[in-house]
Amino acid sequence: MNIKTTLLAGAVAFAPVAGFAADLTIGFSQIGSESGWRAAETTVTKQQAEERGIDLKFADAQQKQENQIKAIRSFIAQGVDGILIAPVVATGWDEVLEEAKDADIPVVLMDRTVDAPDDLYLTAVTSDLVHEGNVAGQWLVDEVAGADCRVVELQGTTGSSPAIDRKTGFEQALEGHDNLEIVRSQTGDFTRSQGKVVMESFLKAEGGENICALYAHNDDMAVGAIQAIKEAGLKPGEDIKIVSIDAVPDAHLAIANGEMNATIELTPNMAGPALDAMEAYLADGTMPPKWIQTESKLYTAEDDNKAVYEMKKDLGY
Amino acid sequence: MIRSTHLPLIVTLVTFVLAFALCGSQYPSILSTRVVANLLTDNAFLGIVAVGMTFVILSGGIDLSVGSVIAFTGVLLAVILRDTSMHPLTAFALALVITTAFGAAMGATIHYLEMPPFIVTLAGMFLARGAAYVLSTDSVPIDHAFYDTLQGIYWKAAGGGRFRLIGGLMVVTFIVGAVVAHRTRFGQNVYALGGGAQTAKLMGVPLAQTTIGIYAISGGLAGLAGIVFSLYTSAGYSLATVGVELDAIAAVVIGGTLLSGGYGFVAGTFFGILIMGLIQTYIVFDGTLSSWWTKIVIGMLLFAFILLQKGLTWATTVRKRRATGSAALS
């Protein structure tokens, strides 16, 4: 009875929206919900679609490429007007993108790119991942100001482009600064629990007093690592400086509490520019540039992190 | 009258037809060649590996290693094609030999050391996954003209559906699998083994040969599925196809094969695969349901089929007992 009422209420609530939004149907193949940032990206994408009166078909791939390929093929079979993909890995998209192109369905890549000829997709909306790593590295270089520093690194999912590029960017920033040395680098799979586990092993292997800074490829791993550092009896943010990427609400909170030092924002609003490009293309064939870059803003203790936290906490992070 | 051994197969078939009609009535574009072609192409690797799994489960065993073997094969091919000038066909042959030998070795361990298949293939799962990681932790792209040729082979049906080579390969595997299971001495031995090792031995079934053969087939088909998966994604990735062994087992059970072994049909597994693919398609078409509903629906289906199996086994025993009972009385 209860479920029925809810379903009915839902149907009634959505009916006018669906009727109004009949003009555009967009399929969105999301990787999954492995991190808070990803959940926020999903929320913002759904908000953006609703604001524009777009009927969004959402498919969660549960971290599996085969699920994403299946979802995209189903979108094509369904005859959607456009497809948004946040690709889980860079390789193996040629065939399915060709099918989309054949069916005249524009595809916009979000937040990650793919190894495919660039005529197979309309545009890619991403942050510059190498640049993010670079900003993080540069911050650390300035922060230690010449003092010796042994750095440990928590990498993202092995083989994923953010893991590769954020590592590259960070290393580039550290180049020529011999006082900074990356002593350990291991994957924490972008998750809180793995971040904690791997940080524990770092602390055991190196000894907490020998680690001066932690660079995590995302905030979730950093938050997990903060827990591990606290449990080891050290003060995160003081004994071990922490810089990571994404700027999720918990990271702002950690900075406000002095447990973390810096985070670089990866905006969850990839769908805004992506849908702008898509709508313009569908309306009059305007070709967007092949790459739309989002801003990578650095947040430190100098910013009002409490305020940012309040603003971001309801996005579903 | 319908034989009770056929009932699970018929239930599967009816479930599929009903589900397809139901989905089609809600989203008419599901009844298109595109969706049919997608079901075949997207589930090709799963279907091939499920044929091997059908043999294993028919014999009363289980093979948990297949998902890892698929990933291993993919990475092996990608690394070979990246680092050597070996032709893909030679690499395919090499991969099939390795995976078949791997399966045979597991079969031999299960038979000669009298170990439960669950443990042996669990070890195999870790071994193969580990070997894949050792070869490469990154996703290795495959860029070879021969791959492009194979991927470019498809038949475009009216309505835009593309029936690709790998989908065809899956159908052929199912046909060959069905012929081997139902029309050869080996197939009979597999069923006999599933009915009980002791009875099979008394019937003169060569146990060692059959067990090793079954796991060799499963390993070899996992290797073939790995080749198909590498064609599907143009890459080898050691993190790929995690948990596919469980999907394959689910497809076999939904397809009407008894988990305890001895009863079942290869064709049933085919429809098991299609049902699972259809559920996923429906959820994407809907676009508002969480994708995790796929798992919930598959879980419920599995549960329903297990209940059905249990009911049938119970009915058969009761009938047998009654038969023997009356025989004793007279």
Enumerate the domain spans of chain A. Answer: 2-126+268-293, 129-266+301-315
Residues of A in Cβ contact (< 8 Å) with B239: 157-159
Chain segment A231-242, per-residue pLDDT in tens: 999 999 999 999
pLDDT of residue B93: 98
- pLDDT score for A9: 45
Residue B326 banded pLDDT, cuts 50, 70, 90: low
Confidence label for B144 from pLDDT (cuts 50, 70 and 90): very high
Candidates A62, A67, A159; nearest CB to B137: A159
What percent of chain B shows pLDDT beyond 70? 96
Name the A residues in 161-180 with CB < 8 Å from any B CB.
164
pLDDT value at residue B231: 94
Contacts of B35 in chain A (CB under 8 A): 74, 77
pLDDT at A67: 92
User: Best residue in A33, A88, A91, A155 to probe B by mutation, most B CBs within 10 Å?
Assistant: A91
Say which CATH class B7-325 falls into.
mainly alpha
- This model of the complex carries an ipTM of 0.84
What ranges do the domains of chain B cover?
Answer: 7-325
Contacts of residue A55 in chain B, CB cutoff 8 Å? 287
A60 vs B contacts (CB less than 8 Å): 290-292
Interchain pair A74, B237: CB under 8 A: no
Residue B134 reports pLDDT greater than 50:
yes
Is the whole model's pTM more than 0.90, yes or no? no
Residue A165 in contact with residue A155, Cβ under 8 Å?
Answer: no
| B244-254 vs B66-83: helix crossing angle, rounded to 10 | 130
Nearest chain A residue to B28 by CA distance is: A78
CATH of A2-126+268-293, picked from 3.40.50.620, 3.40.50.720, 3.40.50.2300, 3.40.50.1820, is: 3.40.50.2300
Asked if pLDDT for residue B4 goes beyond 80, the answer is: no
* Whether the domain at A2-126+268-293 and the domain at A129-266+301-315 fall into the same CATH topology: yes
Q: Which residues of B touch A (CB under 8 A)?
A: 27, 29-30, 32, 34-35, 38, 41-42, 45, 137-142, 151, 160, 162, 229, 232-235, 237-242, 277, 280-281, 283-288, 290-292
Q: Extract the residue ranges of chain A whose pLDDT is less than 70.
A: 1-22
Query: For chain A, what is the HEC assignment?
Result: CHHHHHHHHHHHHHHHHHHHCCCCEEEEEECCCCCHHHHHHHHHHHHHHHHCCCEEEEEECCCCHHHHHHHHHHHHHHCCCEEEECCCCCCCCHHHHHHHHHCCCCEEEECCCCCCCHHHCCEEEEECHHHHHHHHHHHHHHHHCCCCEEEEEEECCCCCHHHHHHHHHHHHHHCCCCCEEEEEEEECCCCHHHHHHHHHHHHHHHCHHHCCEEEECCHHHHHHHHHHHHHCCCCECCCEEEEEEECCHHHHHHHHCCCCCEEEECCCCCHHHHHHHHHHHHHHCCCCCCEEEECCCEEECCCCHHHHHHHHHHHCC
As its CATH architecture, domain A129-266+301-315 has 3-Layer(aba) Sandwich (3.40)
Q: What is the pLDDT of residue A10?
A: 43
